[in-house]
């Protein structure tokens, strides 16, 4: 991706520089390094995500999770002589807006790393921008395999050595989703996707795995994500009498689609990937969403002690929006950059000169994070490939099963 407040603004780029300096026992002098007494140098970690629009619930969770990691790093003086700041840019979940936002971010010589994007289709446009400036980009949510392995999965080639991700890909998620449905006794399915990179890819990998597991795809349709009336596609799918509908896309369309399916007599579960795994989906789908299904990357955040601590720290910080589906992955992405900066900034005169060293150091990080061991393979992909299946029960997402599919 996925997935997961609305800010109205005239400009396509929202820049919110937040200086989060350390606050030790030396009073109000937040520029004190704690070692020489001199002013700290500044390095910025960018956030690029949809901070306005339909997907802002997910984007704001990404932003705040990075802010939390940076604040904690500054409070602990993790990088002596340096203060970290967060620079947040709104990509609106749109490829062209994202490219422009990335271009403005890289013009800042203090920018040394970026967490984002949410959408794989947006990252396709921002990857080359950050790569040209040697700026590390770590996505907490992109699941499109081509971003790290190129267009031919049978002959993988890494397109950009500056790009990494803390979530696993749709190859893993699609395979898990197929098995999850088969295990639920659902042997026939109709697929629908929104024609975007994430949705189309997820359906492709799901379909391959579902057929290989003995399932039958009885219909395959698409929707226009800019439309809200899905009655035509429901009328096409209904006669095939599928046991479920597998949807590739995000909750702003998936929720209404589920509601209109049930109203149109197609009273079967809708299943989607991490792009629909958000409380907003249930709100949009209404009471008939009970028994709908989703997969999402990783285990539930509150399933580990590290996850519980992250959620407690996030709550204590009193951010206006929840951490949402990708909070833990964003926090780990920010900390991957911070861990790398401990190496790359040690003897650096400024942030810009340390960009390539930061890319190199990120590729070697290894630490225990909220989402498990944080480290990357030769393609920039996470080594942790855990997927969880969820079901809507009583108006809430309930975890059913987690599995390491690596």
Q: CA 271 to CA 199: how far, in whole Å?
A: 12
Lookup result for tokens 């799918």: 237
Q: Residue 314: which residues within 8 A CB-CB, separation 6 or more?
A: 64, 65, 68, 323, 327
| Predicted pLDDT of residue 21 | 36
Torsion over CA: 232, 237, 240, 241 (sign): negative
Q: In CATH, what number does 18-167+302-375 get?
A: 3.40.50.2300
Q: Which residues pair with 48 in a beta bridge?
A: 89, 116
| Predicted pLDDT of residue 16 | 39
**Tens digits of per-residue pLDDT, 220-251?**
999 999 999 999 999 999 999 999 999 999 99
Q: What are phi and psi of 307, to 5 degrees?
A: -65, -40
Pairing of strands 136-139, 18-19: unpaired
| CA dihedral angle for residue 325, residue 328, residue 331, residue 337, rounded to 10 degrees | -100
| Predicted pLDDT of residue 185 | 95
DSSP state of 102: H
| Predicted pLDDT of residue 38 | 59
Q: CA 165 to CA 116: how far, in whole Å?
A: 9
Q: Does the pLDDT at position 27 exceed 60?
A: no
Cβ neighbours of 290 (radius 10 Å) = 15
Q: Does the pLDDT at position 29 exceed 60?
A: no
Across the chain, mean pLDDT equals 91
Give 42's Cβ-side CA count (13 Å radius): 16
Q: CA 121 to CA 142: how far, in whole Å?
A: 9
Cβ neighbours of 89 (radius 10 Å) = 27
| Predicted pLDDT of residue 17 | 40
Q: CA 310 to CA 296: how far, in whole Å?
A: 19
Selection from 399, 389, 398, 401 nearest residue 174 by Cα:
389
Q: What are phi and psi of 176, to 5 degrees?
A: -65, -45
Alpha helices in 227-270 (DSSP H): 231-237, 251-263
363 pLDDT band, cuts 50/70/90, is: very high
1 pLDDT band, cuts 50/70/90, is: low
Between 8-17, 171-180, 200-209, 272-281, the lowest mean confidence (pLDDT) is in: 8-17
Q: CA 192 to CA 260: how far, in whole Å?
A: 14
**Tens digits of per-residue pLDDT, 200-220?**
999 999 999 999 999 999 999
Check whether domain 170-297+387-404 has CATH 1.10.287.3510, yes or no? no
| Predicted pLDDT of residue 64 | 98
Q: Does the pLDDT at position 24 exceed 70?
A: no
What b/e string do you get for 94-122 counting C-beta neighbours within 10 Å, with b at 16 or more? Answer: bbebbbbbbbbbbebebbbbbbbbbbbbb
Where are the chain's structural domains?
18-167+302-375, 170-297+387-404
Q: Does the pLDDT at position 179 exceed 70?
A: yes
Segment 339-349 shows an average pLDDT of 97
| Predicted pLDDT of residue 296 | 96
Q: Does the pLDDT at position 7 exceed 80?
A: no
Q: CA 150 to CA 137: how far, in whole Å?
A: 17
Between 11-15, 41-45, 357-361, the lowest mean confidence (pLDDT) is in: 11-15
Q: Which helix (H) or strand (E) holds 381?
A: none
| Predicted pLDDT of residue 40 | 85
Cβ neighbours of 346 (radius 10 Å) = 13
Between 35-49, 125-139, 147-161, the lowest mean confidence (pLDDT) is in: 35-49
CB 138 within 8 A of CB 165: yes
Provide the 3-class DSSP secondary structure of residue 339: helix
Q: Residue 154: which residues within 8 A CB-CB, separation 6 or more?
A: none
DSSP state of 354: G
**Tens digits of per-residue pLDDT, 36-88?**
345 789 999 999 999 999 999 999 999 999 999 999 999 999 999 999 999 99
Q: CA 117 to CA 8: how far, in whole Å?
A: 20
Segment 107-120 shows an average pLDDT of 98
Selection from 19, 17, 21, 18 nearest residue 75 by Cα:
21
Q: Is-same-fold flag (18-167+302-375; 170-297+387-404)? A: yes
The share of the chain scoring above pLDDT 70, in percent, equals 91
Q: What is the full DSSP assignment across 279-313? A: HHHHHHH-GGGTT-EEEEESS-GGGSHHHHHHHHH
25 pLDDT band, cuts 50/70/90, is: very low
Three-state SS annotation for 156-206: CCCCCCCEEECCCCHHHHHHHHHHHHHHCCCCEEEEEECCCHHHHHHHHHH
């Amino acid at each position: 991706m996925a997935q997961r407040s609305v800010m109205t603004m005239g400009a396509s780029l929202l820049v919110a520089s937040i200086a989060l300096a350390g606050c030790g026992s030396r009073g109000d002098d937040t520029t004190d390094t704690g070692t020489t007494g001199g002013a700290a140098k500044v390095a910025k970690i960018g956030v690029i995500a949809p901070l306005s629009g339909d997907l802002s619930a997910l984007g704001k969770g990404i932003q705040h999770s990075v802010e939390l990691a940076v604040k904690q790093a500054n409070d602990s003086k993790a990088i002596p002589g340096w203060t970290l700041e967060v620079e947040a840019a709104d990509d609106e979940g749109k490829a062209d807006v994202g490219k422009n936002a990335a271009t403005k971010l890289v013009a800042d010589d203090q920018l040394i790393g970026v967490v984002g994007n949410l959408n794989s289709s947006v990252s396709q446009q921002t990857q080359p921008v950050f790569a040209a400036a040697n700026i590390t980009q770590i996505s907490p949510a992109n699941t499109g395999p081509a971003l790290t392995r190129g267009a031919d999965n049978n002959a993988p080639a890494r397109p950009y050595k500056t790009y990494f991700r803390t979530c696993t890909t749709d190859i893993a998620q699609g395979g898990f989703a197929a098995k999850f449905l088969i295990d639920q006794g659902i042997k026939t399915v109709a697929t629908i996707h929104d024609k975007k990179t994430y949705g189309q890819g997820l359906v492709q990998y799901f379909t391959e795995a579902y057929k290989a597991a003995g399932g039958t795809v009885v219909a395959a349709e698409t929707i226009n994500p800019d439309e809200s009336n899905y009655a035509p596609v429901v009328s096409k799918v209904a006669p095939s009498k599928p046991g479920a509908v597998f949807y590739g896309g995000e909750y702003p369309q998936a929720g209404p689609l589920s509601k209109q399916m049930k109203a149109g007599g197609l009273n079967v579960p809708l299943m989607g990937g991490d792009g629909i795994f958000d409380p907003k989906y249930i709100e949009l789908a209404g009471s008939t969403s009970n028994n709908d299904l989703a997969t999402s990357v990783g285990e539930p955040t509150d399933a580990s002690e590290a996850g519980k601590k992250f959620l407690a720290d996030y709550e204590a910080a009193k951010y206006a929006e929840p951490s949402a589906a990708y909070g833990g992955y964003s926090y780990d992405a920010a900390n991957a950059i911070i861990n790398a900066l401990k190496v790359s900034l040690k003897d650096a005169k400024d942030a810009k000169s340390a960009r390539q060293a930061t890319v190199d150091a990120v590729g070697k990080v290894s630490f225990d994070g909220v989402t498990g061991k944080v480290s990357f393979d030769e393609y920039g992909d996470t080594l942790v490939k855990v997927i969880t299946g969820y079901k809507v029960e009583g108006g809430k997402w309930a975890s059913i099963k987690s599995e390491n599919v690596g």
